[in-house]
Amino acid sequence: MARPISPGSEWSARRKSRFRGLVLLGLPLLLAACVGSGSLLPPGRVGGGSAPMSDSVPPAPMGSITAQPIDAVPGQGAPVGGAALGAGSVKVALILPLSGPGQGAVAAQSMRNAADLALTDFQGSDLQLLVKDDRGTPDGARQATGEAIAEGAELIIGPLYAGSVQATAGVARQAGRPVVAFSSDSNVAARGVYLLSFLVQEEVERIVSYAASQNRRSIAALIPETTYGSVVDAAFREAAGRHGVRVVAIERYASGGAAAAVRRLAGVIGGASPQADALFIPDNGDGLPTVAQALAGIGFDPGRVKPLGTGVWNEPRVFALPALQGGWFAAPDGRGFEAFSQRYRARFNMDPTRLATLSYDAVTLAAALSRTQGSRRFQEDVITNPAGFAGADGVFRFNPDGTNSRGLAVQEIRGGTIAIVSASPRTLAAAQ
């Protein structure tokens, strides 16, 4: 459950039910933890330690960053539905693309299920979730938000797509209602519009910071020529500057151009005396095999030049690549997501999509704030509490500008498996 964190306190000592009762603000909150960048695909086995962690990643992770969430393959269907969940006195809207095109509807149904599970796990919740279908369009989001506010919604949870978030924000702002949305596009974040999502900027910051702490201070980069890649490129340059890392070279590559980009970097990352001591490659399981093959052709040695990545590395196809052995990537710890998945499967007899925990955490947080904060429950200073919250995807907090900060682990690829080499933090209170 998503509950407020208080530094130095232990929520586990206060657990009274299988899935944690609620405590007052200022006491801790715990849910679980997760695996890297989101995907609409149902995950496979997700474990901790050196066990394989599976989170299928699309060709362009968060690539439709200005329009829709990550692509996926066919999965469960998503029935259209607008019935309320719960019967409490505090009304909260849940806006999702339940009848939207493609895999958005699959994700939406999974996120609706997760919201239902959150209400069940949170004993005695006073919430009533007004479930609205935005059809995956800005016009639908605008209409759904207006209906929810007219019905008394105090908080808007959702939508999923960036364009829909912008539409919802315009209506909610006029009514003075805060929004907790699921887009991974930080451009739609704003005061009063908070993103509960996996932001790649956080993953880049974590991996560059950790590499610098391990004396990897000369980093080259191979970055795909995609929308996702452009976001990562900017974040990488900024993180390198913050941590005193020298950017030796950056090569961008379009589809089919990875091998040529690797060859252009041969003098920097190949051979017995490379100029760089780390290589940042924020590509996924579709693009990385070609990159890895090209790296082998220039004499790349991951023992000399440490491979670095983001959460899109978090899938078995990547773990098996010889050129990435010993590589590090930043992603949430997956053990909490596995715990959530087990409860989800027991309730719905199917696997959740990777984004389901976002809905779960948002609803649980709304229930916790409703119980502990009274009439101030959704005020800006409550939502942006710098101590943060802990949920199924680990500790997080909302920043005043609407973005979020997350506690991420650094994980190392070891012969087809992964192991955590730097644990995710239990609190974000120290990082003001």
How much of the chain exceeds pLDDT 70, in percent? 80
Quote the CA–CA distance of 70 and 63 in Å, as a whole number.
Answer: 7
In this prediction, residue 263 has a pLDDT band, given cuts at 50, 70 and 90, of very high
Residue 2: pLDDT band with limits 50, 70, 90: low
What are the two backbone dihedrals, phi and then psi, of residue 132, each rounded to the nearest 5 degrees?
-125, 140
Q: Is the pLDDT of residue 79 over 90?
A: no
Give, in degrees to the nearest 5, the angle at Cα 362 between 357 and 366.
145
Tell me which CATH code domain 3-198+334-410 carries: 3.40.50.2300
Question: Is pLDDT above 60 for 25?
Answer: no
Domain edges within the chain:
3-198+334-410, 201-331
Alpha helices in 309-350 (DSSP H): 316-319, 335-348
Q: What is the pLDDT of residue 82?
A: 60
Mean pLDDT, to the nearest integer, of 100-121?
Answer: 96
Edge-to-edge order in the sheet of strand 404-406: 3-4, 389-391, 394-398, 404-406
Q: Do domains 3-198+334-410 and 201-331 have the same CATH topology?
A: yes
Helices then strands, counting H and E runs in the chain, come out as 12, 17
**Residue 429: per-residue pLDDT:** 59
pTM of the model: 0.81
The Cα–Cα gap between 238 and 413 comes to: 26
Does 26 score more than 90 pLDDT? Answer: no
Q: Which residue has the higher pLDDT, 6 or 10?
A: 6
Contact 371, 68 (CB under 8 A): no
Q: Is residue 75 scored above 50 in pLDDT?
A: no
What per-residue confidence (pLDDT) applies to 113? Answer: 98
pLDDT at res. 61: 29
| Tens-digit pLDDT profile for residues 38-74 | 333 333 322 233 222 222 223 222 322 222 333 332 2
Cβ neighbours for 223, distance < 8 A, ≥ 6 positions apart: 229, 232, 233, 236, 250, 251, 252, 253, 280, 281, 282, 283
At the top level of CATH, the class of 201-331 is: alpha beta
> What is the pLDDT, as a whole number, of residue 39?
35
Q: Structure tokens of 8?
A: 């130095």
On the question of pLDDT at 386 being above 90, the answer is yes
- How many of the other CB atoms lie within 10 Å of CB of 4? 23
What percent of the residues of the chain are helix, what percent strand, and what percent coil, each to the nearest 5? 35, 20, 45
251 sits in which H/E element: strand 246-253
Q: What is the pLDDT of residue 428?
A: 82
Give residue 36's pLDDT band: very low, low, confident or very high (50, 70, 90). very low
